[in-house]
Chains A and B, each alone.
Chain A
Amino acid sequence: MRRILERLEALDRRIIFVFIFLSIALPLLLPVNMEFSVTPPVKSFYDAIESLPPGSKVLVSCDYDPGSMPELFPMNVAAFYQLLSRDLRVITIQLWATGTLLTERAMSEVLEDLPDKEYGVDWVDLGFKEGREVVMVSMGTSIPKTFPSDLHGTKVKDIPIMEGVNTFDDVAMLVNISGGLPGTKEWVLQVQSRYHVMLGSGCTAVSAPEFYPYVQSGQLVGLLGGMKGAAEYEKLVRRPGTAQRGMDAQSVSHIIVFLFILIGNIAYFSTKGMKKRLKV
């Protein structure tokens, strides 16, 4: 018995890897579609967009890379879908060079469902600009000067959607899909606190706790945290995507991690007790 417990305490990590692999792969192959409710930060993000009058312009900054794509891409797609299906005008930018092609892909997925939406009229991609916080602040003085042309090189003054868009005063809301730095924290510090623009954020699960203070202070109108946040948001916009499909896998893998923590502690305390008894 003691030997088994000692083996469990120092379990080979490859065994853990196998269990984690199976706990992710099997639910993806055999989904049961577990039910879940929507948490308040996600609901308030959704409600903030719903409250905007049709025709309002929304700036979406897609600042992430393929590493955080499983969590952030579904919420990016869902956000584009909600914005465009509500007849809001979408202006996208990227402060991460790796975000440009992901934004393009997210938008093309949405346009399959909303084929009547026209580039330059309903949405525009101003592309990537290096400069991080300086770009954010610069947009507060002049968006056309910070982004003089769109991703394809068309002058901003020749793009209908950009008519009347000069500063943050001319956008109804700012949405940030944040994979790290620069991201939501910088948008709050540099833009929201200075220009008081309505800001909503979608971020990775690991960085969500960092942004809860901003939700409570009202600096963020809503927060989509990780794949669960994305799945809840997909549920609200009624467009099931990869986040909802990933919920079963995430549930099972979390249970597996919990069981390993439990096994580790049982083995630890049992062997500790046995060692004490042997000493006595």
Chain B
Amino acid sequence: MRREIPIAICFLAGFSFILEYFIPHKQVLSVFETIRQWAIIVIAFAYVLGIANIVRINFHAIQRKQRDWPYKVVLVLGVFFMITVGVFFGGIGEETIFGWVYYHAQYPLQATMFALLAFFIASAAFRAFRVRTFEAGLLAVTAVLVMIGRVPVGEALWKQFPDFTEWIMNVPQLAGKRAIMIGAALGAISTALKVLTGLERTYLGGE
């Protein structure tokens, strides 16, 4: 029963969402509204589970003074600090303690991480766009055309450059993208059906 009950719950929950999509009648939707509210509550509880997991894993690492344990102390303290200031000291807003920490810690840290991408992408482009084969050449030429055509300097070089770039985006790019999307969607449908019917059980762990 340890496996059958979760599979049954998964089947019922999954098929209810499929039915809801294909029968968009008001009365049907109102029935499924309750299920959706349950889903939102379950997702919210996943946060509690997530926090418990963070504490458990990092606490063990700190206790055993594993590699990089001081960072884990900062992580655990950060989690509890943000929860405490958010819940007990004025809630969320620019003028609150939560807002101050957000703008003076999370904001610059996340922005810095993302900004570093510019440097690594430039370095990767230098090495990756070597025209070793015909396909690699095609990729490199298209990448350069789109890269230059989508910034003002491209338009300064050739007035029709943005239109040409839009054509690349709207015709060859889109054709490839659409093919990938349709393929991925078919794969997702197949996987979903396997999960719902209990053929795919890896989410239960073990198998």
Residues of A whose CB lies within 8 Å of any CB of B are: 11, 13, 16-17, 19-21, 24, 34-37, 39-40, 65-70, 98, 100-101, 104-105, 108, 127, 129-132, 134-135, 137-138, 140-142, 145, 151, 194, 205, 208-210, 212-213, 216, 226, 228, 247-248, 250-258, 260-261, 263-265, 268-269
Min C-beta distance of B40 to chain A, whole Å: 4
Min C-beta distance of B11 to chain A, whole Å: 18
Q: Do A101 and B177 touch (CB < 8 A)?
A: no
- With A34-B156, A213-B178: A130-B173 Cβ-Cβ less than 8 Å: no
- With A16-B126, A37-B155: A142-B33 Cβ-Cβ less than 8 Å: yes
Mark out the residues of chain B between 127 and 161 whose CB falls within 8 Å of any chain A CB in the assembled complex.
127, 129-132, 140, 144, 147-148, 150-156
Which label, helix, strand, loop or mixed, suits the secondary structure of the A interface? Answer: helix
Mark out the residues of chain B between 23 and 52 whose CB falls within 8 Å of any chain A CB in the assembled complex.
24, 29-30, 32-33, 36-37, 39-40, 43-44, 47
Q: Do B92 and A100 touch (CB < 8 A)?
A: yes
Q: Do B162 and A256 touch (CB < 8 A)?
A: no
Contact partner of B40 (CB less than 8 A), chosen from A16, A21, A134, A208, is A134
B200 at the A/B interface (Cβ < 8 Å)? no
Min C-beta distance of B25 to chain A, whole Å: 11
Mark out the residues of chain B between 109 and 138 whose CB falls within 8 Å of any chain A CB in the assembled complex.
110-111, 113-114, 118-119, 121-123, 125-127, 129-132
Q: Which of B54-62, B98-106, B190-198 contacts A (4 or more CB under 8 A)?
A: B98-106
Nearest neighbor of A258 in chain B, beta-carbon distance: B144
Q: State A141–B32 Cα separation when bound (angstroms).
A: 9
Min C-beta distance of B100 to chain A, whole Å: 10
Q: Which B residues touch A140, using CB under 8 A?
A: 29
Nearest neighbor of B169 in chain A, beta-carbon distance: A212
Min C-beta distance of B191 to chain A, whole Å: 16
Q: Which A residues touch B83, using CB under 8 A?
A: none
Q: State A6–B38 Cα separation when bound (angstroms).
A: 63
Q: Do A101 and B110 touch (CB < 8 A)?
A: no
Q: Do B114 and A67 touch (CB < 8 A)?
A: yes
Q: State A254–B152 Cα separation when bound (angstroms).
A: 10
Nearest neighbor of A262 in chain B, beta-carbon distance: B144
Q: State A254–B165 Cα separation when bound (angstroms).
A: 15
Q: Do A11 and B126 touch (CB < 8 A)?
A: yes
Q: State A257–B169 Cα separation when bound (angstroms).
A: 20
B21 at the A/B interface (Cβ < 8 Å)? yes
Min C-beta distance of A180 to chain B, whole Å: 12
Q: Do A255 and B148 touch (CB < 8 A)?
A: yes
Min C-beta distance of B182 to chain A, whole Å: 10
Q: Do B36 and A254 touch (CB < 8 A)?
A: no
Q: Do B177 and A134 touch (CB < 8 A)?
A: no
Min C-beta distance of B143 to chain A, whole Å: 8
